């Protein structure tokens, strides 16, 4: 049964799937066709995703969110249990498994629309950069397209069963891509480690979601996995009642929030569950590292926000103040480890861990500024890290080593790669004028402000500026970031070029240039014109913040 169907999002999701099927039907010799079909499929989805991004109406979203804020502040309305339906644009809503309350419900809000665009950018750039792959091109492209489709599915899912379906669907192409085309030294170990870590996190979160599903179903009489229904149940306070009777402090929200948030947080590289990520990034082939660090880690952060914070605001209030410590460790410790690496790709791998800590931290501020910054950081870091991995891949493909001390002077041979890497480096350091600044600055402002529900008389840590102290510690991470980025830039791209050791460094192809240019364009564009995205993310964050009482 069709409820609404605009078809755009389903189109974005199905185009790569269809592309993958067509590629699988080709014969083994048609390498060029496989590449072209993959480029077409990701190119079409990029155009559609741009359409979604530009067509998303911030005004409509804000109108819905203002109503939500009024409903929460208006005591009388709150007492009557007035709730506001969360806003989604471009909805596709078709019944799938009616008896279990599962429907094919896709839509984007202010947070997921930029994520869809990010996936499209990284996917298209990934195909262009993989043009040179010779071994089993057909299968590479097919699995790559399936991975991209899985990622889209998570970002666009409104029904949380659909979210899980695609979350787990993206696991097996990932495994294949790393284990077949990855770096031979560690690929088997890394692929298995990554798969098991991600699966453990996601199934723990799944059990949490089932608990919410039954709780909400028993309370409202409607058993549904639809985010809209569950969010309304959350607004009615269904999850704030004791979970099993007895202890009134152990509410559903407080009990299950850590399972869901940290379960998804595994994929976001949350310390101490980040260990899979540098290994995975390094072992993966370039295009997969780009998707992996650029997009897949955002999948974890995004799902933690959508299923964790948005359904269990009371749990978020209780737990995020201590989870923020994990995030601070992420930022500082990740940066310190990155500093110590000799392997070019491991530097970037740990820098991702460090930067993803800022995203979690932005969520944990629980105010509008900080959470908007976290949304911006997800996009900015996604593009930036895709660019980084693309650069690393191009250097490695030519030099056949990633040992930083033995590289040097590559700016002479690969000027465009050097420029791209330096742009990425500045973004990473949070240089004003680039997207990193407009993302990280709000996060720090948000940290100083602290959560909206503070000061809370029950809140023991409020006697000193707890969030402010975290901000100070985290700032260290930014300084270390600058240090390791400059070290890598200096040692890899500048300095002496050893022409005896690297006699045949070829220039990069046109496809590579297009991919690098495309990614750099967005980093600069957002830096000089943040209004392109900030209001959109703000419109998605506003209802969350009003649920958190901020």
* Residue count of the chain: 550
Beta carbon of residue 313, minimum distance to other proteins (angstroms, whole number): 22
Does 528 contact other proteins by CB under 8 A?
no
Q: Both tokens of residue 203?
A: 């199934």
Beta carbon of residue 289, minimum distance to other proteins (angstroms, whole number): 19
* Rounded distance between C-alpha atoms, residue 297 and residue 314, angstroms: 25
Among 5, 6, 165, 275, binds other proteins (CB under 8 A): 165
Is 98 strand, coil or helix? helix
Q: Buried (b) or exposed (e) across 508-545, using 16+ Cβ within 10 A?
A: beebbeebbebbbebbeebbeebeebbebbbbbbbbbb
Does 171 contact other proteins by CB under 8 A?
yes
Does 506 contact other proteins by CB under 8 A?
no
Beta carbon of residue 382, minimum distance to other proteins (angstroms, whole number): 24
Q: 436-439: long-range contacts (C-beta < 8 A, 24 or more apart)?
A: 436/380, 436/381, 436/384, 436/523, 436/527, 437/527, 438/376, 438/380, 438/526, 438/527, 438/530, 438/534, 439/358, 439/373, 439/376, 439/377, 439/379, 439/380, 439/381
Ranges within 180-219 binding other proteins (CB under 8 A)? 180, 188, 191-192, 195-196, 199-200, 203-204, 206-207, 210-211, 213-214
* Rounded distance between C-alpha atoms, residue 119 and residue 113, angstroms: 10
Q: Which is nearer to other proteins, 139 or 512 (CB)?
A: 139
Beta carbon of residue 239, minimum distance to other proteins (angstroms, whole number): 15
Beta carbon of residue 181, minimum distance to other proteins (angstroms, whole number): 10
Rounded to 5 degrees, φ, ψ at 439 are: -95, -45
Residue 177 in contact with residue 281, Cβ under 8 Å? no
Beta carbon of residue 261, minimum distance to other proteins (angstroms, whole number): 17
Among 169, 339, 454, 489, binds other proteins (CB under 8 A): 169
Beta carbon of residue 278, minimum distance to other proteins (angstroms, whole number): 21
Beta carbon of residue 358, minimum distance to other proteins (angstroms, whole number): 29
Cα dihedral 126, 128, 130, 136, rounded to 10, equals 110
Q: Which is nearer to other proteins, 160 or 485 (CB)?
A: 160
Among 85, 94, 96, 491, binds other proteins (CB under 8 A): 96
Ranges within 25-44 binding other proteins (CB under 8 A)? 28
Is 533 strand, coil or helix? coil
With contacts defined by CB under 8 A, name the span among 157-165, 365-373, 413-421, 511-519 that binds other proteins. 157-165
Neighbours of 468 (CB within 10 A): 12
Burial (CB < 10 A; 0-12, 13-18, 19+), residue 98, is exposed
Beta carbon of residue 393, minimum distance to other proteins (angstroms, whole number): 21
Distance from CA of residue 66 to its chain's centroid? Answer: 27
* Rounded distance between C-alpha atoms, residue 467 and residue 298, angstroms: 24
Does 135 contact other proteins by CB under 8 A?
no
Q: Which is nearer to other proteins, 165 or 511 (CB)?
A: 165
Query: How far is residue 431 from each of residues 242, 311, 494, measured CA to CA in Å?
Result: 47, 35, 20
Beta carbon of residue 268, minimum distance to other proteins (angstroms, whole number): 19
Among 176, 239, 302, 410, binds other proteins (CB under 8 A): 176
Q: With residue 93 as reference, give the H or E element that holds it.
A: strand 89-97
Does 445 contact other proteins by CB under 8 A?
no
Q: Which is nearer to other proteins, 28 or 498 (CB)?
A: 28
* Rounded distance between C-alpha atoms, residue 336 and residue 116, angstroms: 31
* Rounded distance between C-alpha atoms, residue 375 and residue 359, angstroms: 7
Beta carbon of residue 436, minimum distance to other proteins (angstroms, whole number): 35
Q: Which is nearer to other proteins, 212 or 228 (CB)?
A: 212
* Rounded distance between C-alpha atoms, residue 490 and residue 492, angstroms: 6
Does 394 contact other proteins by CB under 8 A?
no
With contacts defined by CB under 8 A, name the span among 34-42, 55-63, 95-103, 357-365 that binds other proteins. 95-103
Among 13, 148, 179, 429, binds other proteins (CB under 8 A): 179
CB hemisphere CA count around 465 (13 angstroms) = 11
Among 98, 135, 458, 496, binds other proteins (CB under 8 A): 98
- Separation of first and last alpha carbons in the chain: 39
Q: Both tokens of residue 17?
A: 């799937």
Beta carbon of residue 171, minimum distance to other proteins (angstroms, whole number): 6
Q: Which is nearer to other proteins, 197 or 444 (CB)?
A: 197
Q: Both tokens of residue 9?
A: 């999002």
Beta carbon of residue 346, minimum distance to other proteins (angstroms, whole number): 24
Does 175 contact other proteins by CB under 8 A?
yes
Q: Which is nearer to other proteins, 64 or 311 (CB)?
A: 311
Does 479 contact other proteins by CB under 8 A?
no
Closest to 316 measured CA to CA, from 437, 324, 177:
324
Alpha-carbon torsion (438, 538, 75, 234), positive or negative = negative
Burial (CB < 10 A; 0-12, 13-18, 19+), residue 164, is buried
Beta carbon of residue 43, minimum distance to other proteins (angstroms, whole number): 24
Ranges within 308-367 binding other proteins (CB under 8 A)? none
Does 233 contact other proteins by CB under 8 A?
no
Q: Which is nearer to other proteins, 136 or 487 (CB)?
A: 136
Give yes or no for a cis peptide into 455 (omega within 30° of 0): yes
Does 67 contact other proteins by CB under 8 A?
no
Residues in contact with other proteins, counted by CB under 8 A, come to a total of 36
Site residues, other proteins (CB under 8 A): 24, 28, 95-100, 139, 161, 164-166, 168-169, 171-172, 175-176, 179-180, 188, 191-192, 195-196, 199-200, 203-204, 206-207, 210-211, 213-214
């Amino acid at each position: 049964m069709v409820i609404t169907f605009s078809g755009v999002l389903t189109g974005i999701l199905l185009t790569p799937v269809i592309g993958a099927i067509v590629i699988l039907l080709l014969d083994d010799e048609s390498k060029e066709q496989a590449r072209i079909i993959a480029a077409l499929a990701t190119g079409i989805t990029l155009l559609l995703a741009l359409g979604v991004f530009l067509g998303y109406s911030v005004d409509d979203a804000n109108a819905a969110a203002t109503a939500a804020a009024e409903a929460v502040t208006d005591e009388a309305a709150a007492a009557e249990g007035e709730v506001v339906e969360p806003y989604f644009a471009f909805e596709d809503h078709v019944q799938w498994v009616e008896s279990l309350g599962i429907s094919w419900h896709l839509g984007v809000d202010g947070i997921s629309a930029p994520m869809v665009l990010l996936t499209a950018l990284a996917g298209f750039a990934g195909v262009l950069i993989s043009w040179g792959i010779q071994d089993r091109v057909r299968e590479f492209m097919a699995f790559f397209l399936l991975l991209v489709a899985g990622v889209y599915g998570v970002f666009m899912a409104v029904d949380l069963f659909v979210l899980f379906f695609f979350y787990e669907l993206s696991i097996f192409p990932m495994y294949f891509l790393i284990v077949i085309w990855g770096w031979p030294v560690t690929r088997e170990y890394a692929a298995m480690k990554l798969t098991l870590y991600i699966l453990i996190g996601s199934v723990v979160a799944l059990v949490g979601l089932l608990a919410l599903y039954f709780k909400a179903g028993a309370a409202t009489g409607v058993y549904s996995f639809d985010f809209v229904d569950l969010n309304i149940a959350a607004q009615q306070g269904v999850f704030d009642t004791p979970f099993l009777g007895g202890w009134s402090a152990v509410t559903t929200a407080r009990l299950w929030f850590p399972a869901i948030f940290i379960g998804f947080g595994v994929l976001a590289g949350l310390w101490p569950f980040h260990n899979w990520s540098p290994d995975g990034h390094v072992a993966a082939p370039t295009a997969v590292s780009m998707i992996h660090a650029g997009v897949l880690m955002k999948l974890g952060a995004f799902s933690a926000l959508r299923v964790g914070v948005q359904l269990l605001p009371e749990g978020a209030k209780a737990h995020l103040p201590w989870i923020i410590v994990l995030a601070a460790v992420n930022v500082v410790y990740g940066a310190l480890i990155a500093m110590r690496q000799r392997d070019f790709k491991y530097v970037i791998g740990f820098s991702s861990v460090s930067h993803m800590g800022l995203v979690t931290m932005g969520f944990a501020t629980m105010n509008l500024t900080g959470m908007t910054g976290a949304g911006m950081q997800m996009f900015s870091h996604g593009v930036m890290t895709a660019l980084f991995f693309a650069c690393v891949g191009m250097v490695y493909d030519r030099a056949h080593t990633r040992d930083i001390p033995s590289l040097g002077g590559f700016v002479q041979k690969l000027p465009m790669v050097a420029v791209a890497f330096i742009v990425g480096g500045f973004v990473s350091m949070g240089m004003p004028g680039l997207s990193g600044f407009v993302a990280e600055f709000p996060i720090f402002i948000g940290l100083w402000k602290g959560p909206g529900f503070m000061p809370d008389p029950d809140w023991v840590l409020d006697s000193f500026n707890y969030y402010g102290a975290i901000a100070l510690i985290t700032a260290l991470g930014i300084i270390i970031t600058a240090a390791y980025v400059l070290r890598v830039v200096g040692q890899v791209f500048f300095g002496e070029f050893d022409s005896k050791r690297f006699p045949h460094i070829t220039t990069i192809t046109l496809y590579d240039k297009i991919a690098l240019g495309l990614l750099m364009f967005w980093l600069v564009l957002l830096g000089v014109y943040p209004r392109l995205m900030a209001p959109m993310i703000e419109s998605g964050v506003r209802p969350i913040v009003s649920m958190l009482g901020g």
